[in-house]
Structure 1
């Protein structure tokens, strides 16, 4: 009976997809030929009264702004290379590393056929086509004292260039609804941000009408191509969450119109955001994808729409809409991020890290000369030129902005980042007014470890340190640390995530990282790439993983995995922590001023990693 129901859902899903393609094959050629015009109104989602200048690194800010003005972008490790075309526009449909260019005249469902070509990465045009750089440009420019009129000129030029090269429903930049949703959100916020600092209306009536219709078409496309798992809706992942988040921004911006479609999107997305929160976030606030980087992305996709609705309605409405259980869960949202952040400010790269963000403004990174950058980063070795012969490297592993927007939205704190300031502008200064719930406990010492049998161990001097232990069993992460930030150990003991689908898990069960007296050891090695190099994908995902339970993992392809849950267990006690797989046991215990990592088995002869990836597309020799 269940099998019949499964096949029925699969068939229905394929039929729905086929029907959508038939509709699209008529719909988008008509829009391309005759255009699309609809009477629409919008209401700003931001309050400029809540803006305070943010302290950012001036050199980083100036470099980024200059690069954008000259069409130089660093796309997933490409280096700050020139994307200009012969018409002084931007090449939107190119993988700059392989040089492959997608056909902008193919309808969206045929535009991605090169996704399986070796050494070609479709994420490159997708990343650029999100237009996230627009909001960063606008925020940093106005933060530096530029006029809104000056910034709007750049905004309009980019929007017009993008729409001329990426007609609605055509090309690679309309092939993924997630990226369509992120693009629409960033356009809306950027326009509202610029407009809120102008004393008069900016932009011609013609351009504003075109912009409103462009946003409507984005909403229509997303709603018609939702990335929902139709067979198992509870397994829908960050792609579907991004669809819903984008629809909340679009429908809230166009709500004043009173259009039936917009009203439908608004009610639908409010309902589905709660469903995504229920299905994709565990009761301890952690995300279900077994990746700290995807936890950040999904948390942003959740909190920014909540901020919009809080500004659109009020706090009481949001609290009633969320309900007590979800309010409690949203209060714990960043606990896993804080637990997985080392004293140097970077997260431990558990699971995939594709550098994905919903909104990215704060310039957290380091400026190098190109020659010095090429000495450090292998991925830049073939870069012949870069903007100003320099390279600015964004630190994608600093998740402090996520903690900041949570502090502003949930706890009512003062913003310390550009993103936190933006959230305060979206909420119009409102907040849920909660306190972050901490779960740390004291980690006591054993008097004697003599009876513990082990074949191998590591020992860390932690004398005169008071240790705490914090376990997040839903995600599968435990941290042992001192409050003075001199020592921290993070160990992973979770499953493959995504309700068993394992799309972003690594072979990390039982693996741990240690920060001790300024030195990071046993670190997790990152992701590097997905489709461009399957061999390297699996090396970073499996071979470089330091799990002692490797035989429990099966990665027949880069995007599938399985895990035998029954053989795995953990034990948390006041003076030791134990991770077990079958008959293998790893114990972390505190005794006589030292912390021990004890194994009852001989380590496998695994390949010794010499490479490290700090973000998607980035590669360097392990130091």
Structure 2
């Protein structure tokens, strides 16, 4: 960072601190809800008659509806646990807190309030009377701020609407639950107070889910449950969410991530649904402008996401595909309003550009937004990337972090276990009830619902699968197909490299019962992922860049690591992520070189990190990887870091895979004993 940039950063920080001090004083001494009513939300983008729910099992719909109405949620490894002001937590690796308090007055006699401030895994509770920027993270062992954030994303509310379509007997119950949970949240989470306004990303995801659920429930409510008073309260809250996003954008010219993309995605949904006026029109133009900018900033030319995480690729990819569908499906009055928006009075960064400087165009003849071809092609490649990295069993490899993050969770995607089977499988469920009752176990690693979105966007058979709902949802809001044109794979660049001095060698052999020689090499050189695929064989190799423009927030020390699927089963799997801030030693353990199937020299990390919470989302850029050579049945990769030089060659022969390692120093390979298939979930292996 230059001296000029440093000065600019310091000045911005001082200005922010002064403004925060003034705003905090106002908020702590007054009502933070908006002071006057806004127009009711009349716009609808989702015709429920066009939605295809054929892939959703009625048994699952009934089960999940019951759980949500009983305020039992399985989030981030919690198990199906009730969250109330009196509920008792299982704890996280022995850390348990008893911070229960009397419940506030309920908004209905038939409804028990949810404790929105509680991490119901550990029992730790944040405070709704504390200003949002003063909420602490990772200060108590075992406490996880992601748990209340995840619940308050409201991703279960659209599911309640979808389940009401699947089984009409659920309709009245689910509509009431939607209404009560929304009112409960609004009353007990005033803007800028408590844990659920601390992260703008979650505000953006929440408001989009609120709007989608509202859109569907308004069409299903033949009972008059959603009365005018509720509609007004709801509209006011949506506007309040929009104000909060604009005032708290997670933007920096020095670096940004999926957080900022979530912010502007939420703002897009707010401005698309709310009645047009000068302010809303600015929000709409700005959010479209920034979605386009982030497509270029956050996704490589080959389609992979710059976080260097296959799981965050889905999160950011969902944000992109749903937002693109909404932009292209904007109502005529919204498109016309965009023709006359003003940039005057726009005070936040980045700047709002005038219409003639925007990368999107308005087609007046059909009153639709048009996006440039590079954008449509890049979006296609995002979907193709996930298709290509998917194994034959439907799962993706876990390279980089996996926090189970999503934009929307529409179709359930998993299987039923019994409670006893779940406890036997997952170490994090220690103390959970053991019986033969059903336990829905969501498969976080199956990204078929994400791929289905692209089936709604593009006419290409590679996106066809059984997840009909997501495809129909994209069709419903976009009302058109996108046409990709320039979509070739990027070529790999070979680099000459001397093997002199690499005197230490080891070969790992994975034998197969089948002939696997006829595999296809698929290359993502920008993303640093290379895949060999055949009908009964899958090998994915990881040499991802540090990610987030070299800040390394969500990458692991997994360079030269791989996942192997052979003869119908997983042979080698990446261990996943498990936790972030609750237990920093677990966070570091799962992203360390020790956890990955890579050559290890004296336990020296490929990329170092700062100790303590400050280092949990950053790695120093100390390693470099490149391709030495490749062919139809092999690839040879080089890793250099801290005077360590390693060449790893993957060679596919007729009935075996050989992994040949050469290094300039003595090395070994560790066998890590834990595996996490989603955030908060952990197994012994």
Q: Name the TM-score, length of structure 2 as normaliser.
A: 0.82
Q: Which of 557, 561, 564 is 1:514 aligned to?
A: 564
Map 1:408-487 to 2 at 5 A.
408-411=456-459, 416-427=467-478, 429-434=479-484, 437=487, 439=489, 455-461=506-512, 462-463=514-515, 465-482=517-534, 484=535, 486-487=536-537
Q: Which residue number in structure 1 is paired with residue 651 of structure 2?
A: 589
| 8 A Cα contact 2:507 2:658, kept in partner | no
Alignment pair present for 1:598 and 2:660: yes
| 8 A Cα contact 2:625 2:637, kept in partner | no
Alignment pair present for 1:189 and 2:212: yes
CA distance in 1, matches of 2:197, 2:17: 17
CA deviation after TM superposition for structure 1 residue 520, in Å? 0.7
CA deviation after TM superposition for structure 1 residue 33, in Å? 6.7
CA deviation after TM superposition for structure 1 residue 574, in Å? 3.5
Q: Which residue number in structure 2 is paired with residue 446 of structure 1?
A: none
Deviates more, 1:134-143 or 1:275-284: 134-143
Deviations for 1:24-80, whole angstroms, at most 9, x for unmatched residues? 325545762775323324311212342233222333322211111111111211111
CA distance in 1, matches of 2:401, 2:315: 12
Q: Which of 119, 137, 146 is 2:142 aligned to?
A: 119
Shift in alpha-carbon separation, 1:561–1:155, aligned structure 2, 3 A: same
Deviates more, 1:567-576 or 1:240-249: 567-576
Q: Which residue number in structure 2 is paired with residue 449 of structure 1?
A: none
Map 1:74-473 to 2 at 5 A.
74-85=74-85, 86=103, 88-110=112-134, 112-146=135-169, 148-198=171-221, 203-230=226-253, 232=254, 235-254=255-274, 257-312=275-330, 317=362, 321-384=370-433, 389-411=437-459, 416-427=467-478, 429-434=479-484, 437=487, 439=489, 455-461=506-512, 462-463=514-515, 465-473=517-525
SS at match of 1:600: strand
Deviates more, 1:390-399 or 1:10-19: 10-19
| 8 A Cα contact 1:507 1:547, kept in partner | no
| 8 A Cα contact 1:71 1:90, kept in partner | yes
| 8 A Cα contact 1:20 1:224, kept in partner | no
Deviations for 1:467-494, whole angstroms, at most 9, x for unmatched residues? 1000101111000011x2x101110011
Deviations for 1:515-541, whole angstroms, at most 9, x for unmatched residues? 011121121000000011111111111
| 8 A Cα contact 2:308 2:555, kept in partner | yes
| 8 A Cα contact 2:401 2:576, kept in partner | yes
Higher helix proportion: 1
| 8 A Cα contact 1:507 1:546, kept in partner | no
| 8 A Cα contact 1:411 1:434, kept in partner | no
Map 1:62-73 to 2 at 5 A.
62-73=62-73
Deviations for 1:199-245, whole angstroms, at most 9, x for unmatched residues? 69762111111110100000000000000124x1xx21000000000
Deviations for 1:115-155, whole angstroms, at most 9, x for unmatched residues? 32222111111011111111111112222234755432121
Q: Which residue number in structure 1 is paired with residue 620 of structure 2?
A: 562
CA distance in 1, matches of 2:307, 2:516: 38
CA distance in 2, matches of 1:21, 1:64: 41
| 8 A Cα contact 2:428 2:682, kept in partner | yes
CA distance in 1, matches of 2:486, 2:424: 42
| 8 A Cα contact 2:58 2:166, kept in partner | no
SS at match of 1:599: strand
CA distance in 2, matches of 1:591, 1:384: 48
CA deviation after TM superposition for structure 1 residue 359, in Å? 0.2
CA deviation after TM superposition for structure 1 residue 385, in Å? 7.7
| 8 A Cα contact 1:195 1:201, kept in partner | no
Alignment pair present for 1:574 and 2:632: yes
CA distance in 2, matches of 1:200, 1:372: 40
CA distance in 2, matches of 1:262, 1:228: 20
CA deviation after TM superposition for structure 1 residue 573, in Å? 2.8
Deviations for 1:375-409, whole angstroms, at most 9, x for unmatched residues? 111000122489x9442211010001111101212
CA deviation after TM superposition for structure 1 residue 553, in Å? 1.4
CA distance in 1, matches of 2:244, 2:633: 55
Shift in alpha-carbon separation, 1:529–1:464, aligned structure 2, 3 A: closer
| 8 A Cα contact 1:360 1:419, kept in partner | no
CA distance in 1, matches of 2:293, 2:238: 25
SS at match of 1:614: strand
Deviations for 1:497-518, whole angstroms, at most 9, x for unmatched residues? 0000000001110011110111
CA distance in 1, matches of 2:656, 2:527: 27
SS at match of 1:252: helix
| 8 A Cα contact 2:117 2:196, kept in partner | yes
Q: Which residue number in structure 2 is paired with residue 614 of structure 1?
A: 677
| 8 A Cα contact 2:453 2:474, kept in partner | yes
Q: Which residue number in structure 1 is paired with residue 97 of structure 2?
A: none
CA deviation after TM superposition for structure 1 residue 270, in Å? 0.9
CA distance in 2, matches of 1:505, 1:329: 22
Deviates more, 1:577-586 or 1:142-151: 142-151
Q: Which residue number in structure 2 is paired with residue 32 of structure 1?
A: 31
Q: CA RMSD in A?
A: 2.8
Shift in alpha-carbon separation, 1:153–1:567, aligned structure 2, 3 A: closer
Deviations for 1:270-320, whole angstroms, at most 9, x for unmatched residues? 111111111000011110000000000000111111111122158995996
CA distance in 1, matches of 2:515, 2:73: 48
| 8 A Cα contact 1:331 1:435, kept in partner | no
| 8 A Cα contact 2:308 2:546, kept in partner | yes
Q: Name the TM-score, length of structure 1 as normaliser.
A: 0.90
Structure 2 runs not aligned, ≥5 long: 86-102, 107-111, 333-359, 492-502
| Structure with larger RCO (C-alpha < 8 A, sep 6+) | 1
Structure 1 runs not aligned, ≥5 long: 442-451
CA distance in 2, matches of 1:574, 1:328: 27
CA deviation after TM superposition for structure 1 residue 460, in Å? 3.5
Shift in alpha-carbon separation, 1:115–1:260, aligned structure 2, 3 A: farther
CA distance in 1, matches of 2:522, 2:34: 57
